[in-house]
Every structure is written in C-alpha cells, then in structure tokens.
Structure 1
Amino acid sequence: MKALSYEELRALYKLFLYSQDISRSTINTAYVDTFYLWRKESKEMFWNTVNAIDFENEAKGALIKTLSKNSTGNVNSLVNGYLSHLRRFRLFLASNGTAELAVTKQEKNVKSTYTRKKKMDIDVPYPSIEQIEFYLSKWNGLENYHLQEVALNKLFFELCPKNTDVIDILLKASTLNDFYSTNIFSIYPVAKHICSLDIDARLKAGDVTLVGDIQYVTIGETKKNFYSFASKYCSHHNPIDYPIYDSYVDEVLRYFRNHDSFSDFQDSDLKDYVKFKVILIDFRTFYGLDKYNLKQIDQYVWLLGKNYFPKNYGKKKSNGVVSVN
C-alpha cells in the first residue's frame, strides 16, 4: 500500500469505510482527516506514524506537533479526533485491503440510496478546519467564480466605489443581477432606491440594518423583497462585515441547527439580516472556526450547500410582498 499515491490510497480506504457500520458524515470526515499528517507534513511521516510500534504515543506526539503549527483551535481537543481516524486506518491496514472487492457493489448501492434521500436524511460533513480548507481551495480553483469576483472587485472598489451617482449604482446593480442571476427584471427602480438612501458612510461602518433598508423596493404597485440581492450589494462594498445571504447558506445553517443545535433560531430569523449575521457568527464560534473571516465562512457554507442541497429557483409570495432570492 505504501506504493499507492495519495488519491489511490484514499479511494481504496473509502471502500473500506463503506464496509464499516458508521455514518455517512463520519465516512466523509475520515476520508479527509485520516491523511492530515500526509498533507501537512509528508508521506513518510504518515506511514512511519501509522506503522509505529508504540503507535498511541508516537501518533499523539506527531499530531500535537503538526496541529500546533497549523491550527488555531484547541490542540488537545482536536488531537483525539485525528487519533481515532488513524486507529481506524490501522484496522484497514490489518485487513490488507481485502474489503475492496466485496464493498464495491455495496458502495454503489449506498450512493444510489443516498441520492434519493430527502434533505432531512442527508449527512453533511461536520464543519472543521480541514473541511473549510478543502472548500476554500475548491473555490479558488473555480475559474468562473474567481474571475467573476475579480471583475466585481474592480467595479465596486476601483471604478464605482461610491453610491451618490445613480449611473454608478445602476452599473453595479445590473452587473450583480446578471452575475448572480437574481432575476430582478427592472433594475433602474432598485438603483434609484439605493441612491436615495445615502449609504456610503453606513457601508463603511458595517451597519447591518442597511440590508433591510435596501431590500424592499416598490416597482409599479408591487412591493418586492430583494433580500439576497441587498446582502450581495452590501457585501461587495464591504465583504468582511456583510456576509451574503443565499438559499444554499440558509439550507446549511438550518441543517446544522437541527443536527448539532449550534444556535437556537427560527427559520424566519435567517430572513432578518441582523439575526442572520449573528447566526453565522454563532456557527463559526460553535465549530471552532474563528481563524476565518465571515467572507471565508460564507464561501465555505455556500459551496457546501451547493454540493448537498438542490437549488430552488423562482418567486415566493407572502403577505403581498414578492420575494426573489
């Protein structure tokens, strides 16, 4: 097995994990965290550690040393989780990979069943530093998202940083509407509404109530709720203070509330931007992810939601207000 590449070994190990009586979320976490020493140190250290005669002490020492260099979390708390993954990997080594053929069919059946599960049955990987690093790396590797963000940064930070000229606002709002497919079919009333609010000082100060002021726009005789768009407009002026609300983010936060009780909130609280930001901060704190800013947390949660939950496009109407997300 030492001759296998990193990806080959992980693929073989994943087959073994499917043969064990463990949850999908544990499989997803083990598939990443078991190989922490390989990623952060070297292939040689990984193999020397898992094959050590005094495994418990040597593995714990190696993990503490590596975690101390690479993590801002509580090392003594984190080390036990990584150690348990290495113990399971040693069981895999003891099996000599014989689970591979027997599990292939089972894995296919599990995957098939998994795709048919309802949202409430989906097992999403537990939030961790490793998971965030994985998804941030994935984000940076998506050329379309990266270049789109570069273009928006140039527009919002260099070409049209202020919000006193309705033409500048119209350019920014139109670009956001197109890039994010926010389905605002008459963008000028939105730009005019934003211009009337005199928002620059509030944006700089990170005034979270501003999103609520921007989101409601009357077009014709209809009051519309552009909540997600409003959060995006503020975020692209001040990304650290204004995380973006999106249906993917909504799904993920509700999922982990239901599974881990990281925060006590009602579903409707996510549609209140002041409460939404507090909930996202609670999420970051609960899972020990304080080394990441809200923009990074937002990117991670968005990609996680995109992977695990379907997107529902369309309009929702409630109490005479048309909502477009």
Structure 2
Amino acid sequence: MKALPYDELRTLYRNFLHSQNISQLTINTAYTNTFYLWRKGSKELFWNAVTDTDFEDTSKNELIKALSENSTGNVNSLVSGYLSHLRRFRLFLASDGTTEPSVLKQKKTANHEYTRKKKMDIDVPKPSIEQVEIYLTKWDGLENYHLQEDALNKLFFELCPKNTDVIDILLKASTLNDFYSTNIFSIYPVAKHICALDIDLRLKAGDVTLVGDIQYVTIGDTLKNFYSFASKYCSHNNPLDYPIYDSYVDEVLRYFRNHDNFSDFQDGDLKDYVKFKGILIDFRTFYGLNKYNLKQIDQYVWLLGKDYFQKNYGKKKRGDK
C-alpha cells in the first residue's frame, strides 16, 4: 500500500468505500478528506499517522496542526470528521484493500439474525481493539447520528456553553429531549432544577455525583427519575468524563459480566451513576481497550447493544428506554 502512488491508492480506496454500507455523500467526502494530511503535509506524514501504534492521539494532533495552518474553520469541530475518515481508512488497510471485512458483513445482518433468539442464545463478539475500530467506523458512517452530534456540540460548546441562564439550559434540555426521545413531557421544571444546582464547576471537574443530583426532579406532586437524560446532559457538557447510560449499554455490560466475569456488579448498580462509570472503566480495562476514551467506549457499547439486543423492529434513538 505504501508503495502506491497517490491517485492509485485513492482509486483503490474508493472501490473499497463502494463495498461498504455507506451513502454516496459519505463516499465522496471520504475520497477527498481521508488524504488531507498527505495533501497538506506529505506522504510520509500521512502514513506515519495512520499506522502509528498510538493512532488516535498521533493522528488527532497532526490533524489539529494541519487544520490550524490551512483552515479558517473551527478546528475542534473539524478534527473529529477528518479523524473518522482515517479510522475508516485503517479498516481498509485491515481488509488488505480488497474486500469488505467479514465481521462487518456480519453486523449488517445481526439485527435480523438475532432478534428472534433468546438472550441466552445470543453470541456477541468478544470486545477487542478490532471490534471497537469496526464499530467506531460504523458510527462515523451513520450520518444522522453524526450530524445530530455535531449540532449538539455546536449548541453546548459554542452557542450556550454555560449553565447559569435558565433560557440556555431550557434550549439545551429541550433539544436533548427531542433528539434522543427521552420522553420528558414537561421540560421547564427540569431546566429550572438544573439552573438551581449551579453545575458548571462540577461539570468541569467531572464530578460523577452530579448526575444523581440532576436526575431527580419534582414535577407537580411527583418525584421523577430522569437518569438517562441526566447522564446525557452531563455528557454533552463534558463527553470525556460522563459516559451515557441507556438500556443498550446496560444490556451489553450485563451480558459480558455473565459470560466473562469482567466484574461482579449487581444489576441495580448500573442505575447508580457513580457505580455505572466505574463498571464501564472496569470493562475497558478488562478487555485491553484503554487506548480509547470513555466517549468512544460508550459509542462502541451502544452500537453493539443496538445490533444484538434490539427490543423491537422500529427505529430506536439513543436514549429510549
């Protein structure tokens, strides 16, 4: 691969992209943006980045440097998109550049094949670096999730970065509630509750007890428990310190506890956010996935759960219970 000229490599990669279950728009973008470091830097820079043993950090740092020197856009917003293209290119390298990886083909039919089976009969692929790479690439190819995430990042990090104005909080909470179908029918009391907690310093510090403080809200005369929503609100303010809880993640963690004994937690521990985050960290460590941050582990586990523990045949958004 390294010996191929620029145009030949791109042609070979484009053929590979057409063998994937991704849109033509994504193919067109990947065909160009994957080779950004080559165009703006050098062939050597490109190959060093995509083959580095510490790929995530090395490639991100090189992309930030190149984008800072050559782009007038928001570098922090742009870098994740370029990095996702490099992840897909690494999948191309793992397939020898000739065919779609058999594991990825398996994922396309996983819903149809396994939804009819009982949980005890499900055979979920064991977590590994290869599996995480496959699912992160799959995440990057899901344009509806990717664009939704970009929109939320703009809202939380650029338009309304603080949590001191109830109007800003109302806007963010309403958008989360709509995007993720968290089914909160009266969002204003939730926004008012969050505003009263004065959460910005705790968010920045990664205080995991904050989720528990946000999740319980009195609406009328009833105390409501918005656990999944609370984890999402914290996560979109500080994604590296607050992984998201939802039913798919719950299913996957219990499955691998039962099969591999990676932890001895009780089912109810997953509904305690402090314990939940610790369990997810134990999961990452047990399977040798420490090169990935908790946001990436969260995305991988959620998509894995969506493939193997789908409860119905309808579309399910992130956060439905």
TM bucket normalised to smaller: 0.5 to 0.7
Q: What residue number does 1:129 align with?
A: 129
Q: What residue number does 1:256 align with?
A: 256
Once the two structures are superposed, residues 5-55 of structure 1 have per-residue CA deviations (whole angstroms, 9 ceiling, x without a partner) of 989xxxxxxxxxxxxxxxxxxxxxxxxxxxxxxxxxxxxxxxxxxxxxxxx
Q: Secondary structure at the match of 1:241?
A: coil
Is 2:157 the counterpart of 1:157?
yes
Amino acid at match of 1:191: A
CA contact (8 A) 1:248 1:311 kept: no
Once the two structures are superposed, residues 261-320 of structure 1 have per-residue CA deviations (whole angstroms, 9 ceiling, x without a partner) of 00110000000000000000000000000000000000000000001002479xxxxxxx
Q: In structure 1, what is the Cα distance between the partners aligned to 2:240 and 2:126?
A: 24
Q: In structure 1, what is the Cα distance between the partners aligned to 2:151 and 2:246?
A: 20
Unaligned runs of 5+ in 1: 8-67, 73-109, 314-323
Q: In structure 1, what is the Cα distance between the partners aligned to 2:201 and 2:150?
A: 24
TM-score where L is the length of structure 1? 0.63
Q: In structure 1, what is the Cα distance between the partners aligned to 2:111 and 2:197?
A: 51
Amino acid at match of 1:181: S
Is 2:208 the counterpart of 1:230?
no
Distance 1:69 1:193, change over 3 A: closer
Is 2:176 the counterpart of 1:185?
no
Distance 1:114 1:294, change over 3 A: closer
CA contact (8 A) 1:155 1:172 kept: yes
Is 2:290 the counterpart of 1:293?
no
Structure 1 ranges of 4+ moved more than 6 A: 110-113
Distance 1:195 1:112, change over 3 A: closer
Question: Could you tell me how far 1:112 is from its partner in structure 2?
Answer: 8.2
Task: Give me the identity figure in percent.
Answer: 85
Give the count of matched residue pairs. 217
Aligned runs of 1:276-315 on 2, under 5 Å? 276-311=276-311
Q: What residue number does 1:270 align with?
A: 270
Q: In structure 2, what is the Cα distance between the partners aligned to 1:143 and 1:69?
A: 27
Amino acid at match of 1:218: T
Q: What residue number does 1:196 align with?
A: 196
Q: Secondary structure at the match of 1:236?
A: helix
Question: Could you tell me how far 1:69 is from its partner in structure 2?
Answer: 5.4
Q: In structure 2, what is the Cα distance between the partners aligned to 1:305 and 1:195?
A: 33
TM-score where L is the length of structure 2? 0.63
Distance 1:131 1:111, change over 3 A: closer
Question: Could you tell me how far 1:116 is from its partner in structure 2?
Answer: 2.5
Q: In structure 2, what is the Cα distance between the partners aligned to 1:182 and 1:210?
A: 19
CA contact (8 A) 1:252 1:304 kept: yes
Q: In structure 1, what is the Cα distance between the partners aligned to 2:113 and 2:242?
A: 38
Distance 1:120 1:200, change over 3 A: same
Amino acid at match of 2:164: T
Question: Could you tell me how far 1:114 is from its partner in structure 2?
Answer: 4.6
Amino acid at match of 1:178: D
Q: What residue number does 2:32 align with?
A: none
Q: Secondary structure at the match of 1:117?
A: coil
Amino acid at match of 1:119: K
Q: In structure 2, what is the Cα distance between the partners aligned to 1:112 and 1:137?
A: 21
CA contact (8 A) 2:111 2:310 kept: no
Q: Secondary structure at the match of 2:218?
A: strand
Amino acid at match of 1:156: F
Amino acid at match of 2:166: V
Q: Secondary structure at the match of 2:237?
A: coil
